[in-house]
Amino acid sequence: MLQPKLTKVETISPLKLRLFYETGEVKLFDVAPYATGPWYGQLKDESYFNAVQLLPGGVGIEWPEGQDVAPHELYENSVPVKKTA
C-alpha cells in the first residue's frame, strides 16, 4: 500500500514527530527506538533533531547528514492524532 504524501513535519520533544499528510491525517511518530548507535544517535541532540526536513514531493523526511526513516514505517508505525479532512 502506498502511503499518502507528507505535507508538513514538526518536532515534539523528546524525539517525537508530528506528521501531516495530504489526506488531512495527523500522526505522531516516536523516533526514540531509532536513535541508537553513532549515526542515528545524533538524533538525541535536540538541535540536530529539530533540523528534520521534508524530502521533495513529500515522499519522506531526512536530517542534515542523511538519517531518515522509511516512509511506510513513518505511516504504519505512527499513532493517529486527528483527521481534518
8-66 pLDDT tens trace: 999 998 999 999 999 999 999 999 999 999 999 999 999 999 999 999 999 999 999 99
CATH number at residue 51: 3.30.2020.10
pTM across the whole model: 0.91
What are the C-alpha distances in Å from 81 to residues 3, 24, 78?
A: 16, 11, 9
For the record, the C-alpha cell of 1 comes out as 500500500
Number of structural domains the chain divides into: 1
In the chain, the N- to C-terminal Cα span, in Å, equals: 20
Question: Which residue's entry shows cell 523516533?
Answer: 31
Establish if 47 belongs to a structural domain: yes
Establish if 37 belongs to a structural domain: yes
**The pLDDT of residue 83:** 56
Model confidence at 84, pLDDT cuts 50, 70, 90, reads low
Domain that holds residue 56: 6-80
**The pLDDT of residue 3:** 86
* 80 strand-pairing partners: 27
Establish if 85 belongs to a structural domain: no
Residue ranges in 15-85 assigned as alpha helix (H): 37-40, 46-49, 71-76
